Amino acid sequence: MLTRRYLLTVAPLGVAAACAGEPAAGNPPAATGAVTSGTTTPTSTSPTTATTTTATPTSKATTTRAPSRPTRAAASLDDLREELSALSRRYGVDLGIAATERRSGRSFTWGADTTIETASIAKADILATLLLQLQDRGARPSSSQLAVADAMIRRSDHESAWTLFRQVGLASGMSAANQRFGLRSTQCFDYSWGLTRTSARDQLRLVGAISGAGTSSSPLDAHSGTVLLDLMEDVVAEQKWGVSAAAHGTERVCLKNGWLPRTTLGKRWIINSIGRITSSSLDLRLAILSQRHPSQGQGIDVVEQAAALTRRHLAV
C-alpha cells in the first residue's frame, strides 16, 4: 500500500475523518441554486446485414435482405438500458453511468451527460491535479503531501482536501488539469471542491487518465498513476461500496466515493462512485453518479445495483 511503499514519515494531521454533509463550518459557503440535469441515450451499432439469393419461377436471381438480428452483446446492452431505466424510475432518482471494458473494447453510457455535483469523488481529481502539476515541475510529492493525500483519499478527510485544493490553485488549477485529462463538462468552484459539477462521461475520462498513466493516453506518468490507484485500492473498509459491487472474487478494486445530503435537493442525497476493477482477464472502468435519494443507505443500494447490472451486461 502507499503508506508502506511511498511514505517515509507521516506526521499526524490532527484532523478528523469526514465525508458527509454540507461543507463544514468555517469552510467557504456552499453555492445555492437548482440542480439541472439532462440525459442522453447512446446509440448501438447494428450488425452487418446479411444477403441471400433466391430463385424466381422464371429462374431469374433476385437479392433479398435477411432480417437484421442483434448480436448477443448488443442485445445485452439494450437489456441493460431497460434495466437501468426501470431502476431510475423505481426509486425516482437521477442516474448517470459510463463504463468501458478495455480488454474487449466494449463501452456503455446511459444518462452519461447528466450533470451532478461531485461530493467527495472530487478528491481523486484534486490529487490527480497535484501530481500532474508536480510532474510539470519535474518533482515528486513530498512525504507531507503524501500524508495529506493518504487522509484525503483513504479516509475522505475534508480538511486534507482543502489543503491540497489550495495548493493546486483552487478551481483554476483543477480546471487547467481537467482540460488535459479530457474532461469537457466539469465545472470547478473556488468556494467548494465538493460542489464541482460533472458528468459520468467526464468521470470515466478521469478514471481513464488515472488508469492509463504512463501511456500515451494519459498526461500522468506511471508513478502518479501508481500513487492514485494504490490509495484508491486501500480506502477504509466502511467506504468500500459502490463500484466494488461489480467485482468478483479476488479482482482488484480501486475506487473513490462521494456522498452528500444537499439543501438544494431538499436534503436528498447525492451518491457517486468511480473506479476501476482489474484481473488477468478484465479491465473495467466505471463511473456512476446519482442524486435525489431519500437516504444515504438507499442511495448506496441503488448505485451498487447499477454497478452490478453494468458489469453483468458489459463484460459478457
E strand spans, the chain? 51-55, 61-65, 94-101, 106-110, 116-117, 197-198, 252-262, 268-279, 282-293
Q: List pLDDT tens digits, range 235-245.
A: 999 999 999 99
Predicted confidence at residue 75, as pLDDT, reads 79
37 part of a folded domain: no
Contact 228, 296 (CB under 8 A): no
28 part of a folded domain: no
138 part of a folded domain: yes
- 42: region left, alpha or beta (phi > 0 left; psi from -120 to 50 alpha): beta
CB neighbourhood size of 251 (10 A): 16
267 part of a folded domain: yes
223 part of a folded domain: yes
Predicted confidence at residue 65, as pLDDT, reads 56
Write the DSSP string, 235-256.
--GGG--SGGGG--TT-EEEEE
302 part of a folded domain: yes
Predicted confidence at residue 55, as pLDDT, reads 42
Tell me the residue length of the chain.
316
Percent of the chain residues past pLDDT 70, beyond the cut: 77
pTM of the model: 0.80
Which regions of the chain are under pLDDT 70? 1-72, 316
Contact 257, 120 (CB under 8 A): yes
Q: How far apart are CA 254 and CA 224, in angstroms?
A: 14
- Tell me how many domains the chain contains: 1
Predicted confidence at residue 228, as pLDDT, reads 98
Best CA proximity match to 3, nearest among 146, 163, 157: 146
Predicted confidence at residue 185, as pLDDT, reads 97
Range of the domain at 144: 69-314
Contact 94, 88 (CB under 8 A): yes
Nine-digit cell at 309?
A: 447490472
Helix (H) or strand (E) holding 122: helix 122-136
159 part of a folded domain: yes
Q: List pLDDT tens digits, range 22-64.
A: 444 334 434 333 333 333 344 333 344 344 444 444 444 445 5
Which residues lie across from 282 on neighbouring strands? 279
The C-alpha angle with vertex 290 and arms to 286 and 292, in degrees rounded to 5, equals 170
224 part of a folded domain: yes
Predicted confidence at residue 169, as pLDDT, reads 98
Predicted confidence at residue 53, as pLDDT, reads 41
**CATH, residue 222:** 3.40.710.10
Which residue do the cell numbers 453511468 mark?
97
Predicted confidence at residue 74, as pLDDT, reads 75
Q: How far apart are CA 118 and CA 115, in angstroms?
A: 9
